[in-house]
Structure 1
């Protein structure tokens, strides 16, 4: 498609990725916004976002990285696609999928009480579905938020999924009549449904949008790796990389005999022989924990590229000594009993349903810290939501969790750390093709 534009688009993509690599702090902030999503266990792995944090992060992102006029003009030639330029420029995989005609227009809508919801189109692969939507309003709106999104088959049964996100709440200080976004589903098993309906709650009304996926589904590509690397004494076994049009899943096994608990591969990336890079997913689920020592880490997709050489590279991993990888507190005394070395966590406060602590760092560390809480009887406690206040001039960020019936939980409480500002470093570049 548009073959005379391919060279121009390739140069555009390379320039965009180079810019992204020079904006590490920004990328970390964007990823952190999504990692700090709230988690509803009743809906399996349904994620939504802390509105204030994510709105601020997206403002920074969209005012810092400009879409090339050439690419904007190119995408505008495709009917309906000019509306989603803002939504795809952060993801090279989605951009190249659209460039290669791997976008399916849908254009189904329903209108109620002056509000219209439109499913513009979709990108689908064997394990993922991304829906692009538009919300139109007869009156200007300063805030639009979808309260619930449910994907069903035509029998009315909810489709089982592994993870689900439906983007940020939409805000406009001056008020707007049109808002665009994406809804993402990723499935643990191959996704076979083609006759579907999407149910959305918006402003007190329920919208039901039936649609059919008719496009060809591209098959996955798998690169066997089966190599073990060692960074600062910690062994990491790289099993394989599976490439889908929407993302790449890198299967990683950590040696259970490692002395450190590895938390986050900050800069895991694919690199081709020319230096073009596909980095981690920036606006969705970045990792699936198969077990404590076995992960799938998700990268942007290079599916529509066929480089002669392809490498998996990383240099920086968040890590803590295993015996030093949690925060233990007494909620009655409001005291920290144990924490990682360095005394970075201070100023603990406990209210009716909230635990709050300040993280002191020399530089901003835009991550939420906690993903699991265990009470004094060894029982896991449900987390209603988590938050991160943003870095303050005083050198700290307020971080915390909200827990129902917190005061009735037996002490001490153990908050397992999923991110922390301690790292191990290496120079790893493994050829996979």
Structure 2
């Protein structure tokens, strides 16, 4: 291991804080039309690619059964030019500016000197793996790291990794990896900056240290580093809310909120007597008294029972007021199903004839089956329905149950009103037809929601 000097964030802190005040004032009055156009353009380009490729960049390690992790699009934010220029001058962190620019929680944390420099490396056979630093609170942590060596450049794909606690156990958390390819020449050697975004499972505590291993050149490189809990000790605000809301005849209780430097967690419980399946709130966000929005890009749980949504953090902004808002509720009927003949590629019955069997193909000893969900409007497309239950089953014509592999991806094009869902099922000689139970299905009610948080 090699250790470098601590990054001098405190020397830049005074200039950063002055810039924060200026940027916050500008954000209140800045026109949104140009920004919205840029966002739409970027989203449309992304929609033309299959989500299957991107899903490989997100791994989930969960011990508790039934824990669902919902991933949504990361909200677009504007980066302070002064912040970016100052960070670029700090050795070891310049490459991470573009990487984190889509996460306002990480940006404001760095602006407020909320980073723990690590600068520990492991080196083998010309490969170097360096953990540059971490940004952490008691529930979330971003690990900033750099890799370099033969064949390593911006075109390097996903690198396998392991994360273990000091006692050698796997870390219980959802772990997202971020890397953006660039146009480095093939065969060039260019250091690559990446980061892991770690969200601790409910009831799990941030460990005192981590063992981070990365597979480079067919060998494992390892860095052990401490997590300084004193940096975020006491930086937590818990708010009891207990406010009820009703949408489309479905009742919910906003239970509480927990504000930490890197996120705001809001827990919402569904009433057990609800007669529809809740699939999430439409355009849910937090907004403060100056109109600044704090978007949600992940959650633990199920909107149909109890869910804890994670929003961008307002901790360092310290707004006087914070309100939970939404435009309505995604919901569908219970006990829906689709019946198909996979030999003839025919759909015999489906809800409102909007879900159709599109194809079946033998791949790696399994059948890959694709279903097209038709007549999707712009609101329908946003949530990314689960469609079939996680770990679910289907039945053949004789009533025999078979497992459904987890979803292999979702494919759509912004110019079409359909979304294609891809699944794998066993390659068996089924007695037709096959019936699949549906968990989530399109449907929504528009109704403005506004719940004061503080």
TM-score normalised by structure 2 residue count: 0.78
Alpha-carbon distance, 1:37 to partner: 3.0
What is the match of residue 183 of structure 1? Answer: 196
Alignment of 1:30-429 (within 5 A): 33=51, 37=55, 44=63, 67-139=79-151, 141=153, 143-159=155-171, 161-168=172-179, 170=181, 172=183, 174-175=185-186, 177-188=190-201, 189-214=203-228, 215-218=230-233, 219-281=235-297, 286-289=298-301, 292-324=304-336, 326-341=337-352, 343-352=353-362, 353-361=367-375, 363=377, 365=381, 367=384, 369-370=386-387, 371-372=389-390, 373-376=392-395, 381=403, 383-391=405-413, 393=415, 395-403=417-425, 405-407=426-428, 412-418=434-440, 420-429=441-450
Task: Quote how far apart the aligned CAs of 1:252 are.
Answer: 0.8
**CA separation in 2, counterparts of 1:120 and 1:21?**
34
Q: Which of the pair has more CA radius of gyration? A: 2
User: Cα deviations across residues 221-273 of structure 1 (Å, max 9, x unaligned)?
Assistant: 12211111111222121111112222221111112322321112231111111
Structure 1's 337 and 304: CA in aligned 2 closer, same or farther, altered over 3 A?
farther
Alpha-carbon contact 2:51-2:409 (below 8 Å) kept: no
Deviation sequence 1:360-403 (CA, Å, 0-9, x none) = 33656263643533222686835255222331645434321234
Per the TM alignment, residue 295 of structure 1 is displaced from its structure 2 partner at its CA by 0.8
**In structure 1, the residue corresponding to 2:106 is in which secondary structure?**
helix
Other structure's SS at 2:24 match: helix
Separation in structure 1 between the aligned mates of residue 28 and residue 212 of structure 2, nearest angstrom: 36
Distance in structure 2 (CA, Å) of the matches to 1:100 and 1:359: 46
Deviation at 1:162, TM superposition (A): 3.3
SS of structure 2 residue aligned to 1:75:
helix
CA distance in 2, matches of 1:332, 1:42: 36
Q: Matched residues in 2 for 1:21 and 1:74: separation?
A: 27
- d(CA) in 1 for partners of 2:30, 2:211: 35
> Once the 2 structures are TM-superposed, how far is the Cα of residue 137 of structure 1 from its aligned partner?
3.2
Distance in 2 of aligned mates of 1:380 and 1:242: 41
Q: Which runs of 5+ in 2 are unaligned?
A: 1-12
8 Å CA contact 2:128, 2:148 repeated in 1: yes
Q: State the alpha-carbon separation in 1 of the partners of residues 241 and 31 from structure 2.
A: 25
Change (3 A) 1:94 1:391: same
Distance 1:413 1:431 in 2: 44
1 CA distance for matches of 2:402 and 2:173?
21
Aligned alpha-carbon RMSD (Å): 3.8
Please give the alpha-carbon distance, in whole angstroms, between the structure 2 residues aligned to 1:379 and 1:167.
Answer: 38
1:51 maps to none
In structure 1, the residue corresponding to 2:316 is in which secondary structure? coil
Separation in 2, partners of 1:47, 1:231 = 23
Q: Distance in 1 between matches of 2:278 and 2:307?
A: 11
The structure-2 alpha-carbon separation of the partners of 1:140 and 1:122, relative to structure 1 and needing over 3 Å to count, comes to closer
Sort the Cα spacing of 1:41 and 1:269 in 2 relative to 1 into closer, same or farther, 3 A: closer
Task: Calculate the TM-score normalised by the size of structure 1.
Answer: 0.81
Which blocks of at least 5 consecutive residues in structure 1 are unaligned? 49-53
Distance, in Å, in 1 between the alignment partners of 2:409 and 2:126 is 34
SS at match of 1:10: helix
Q: Is the 8 A contact 1:327 1:417 kept in 2?
A: no
For 1:406 and 1:133, the matched residues in 2 are separated by 42
**Length, aligned pairs only:** 414
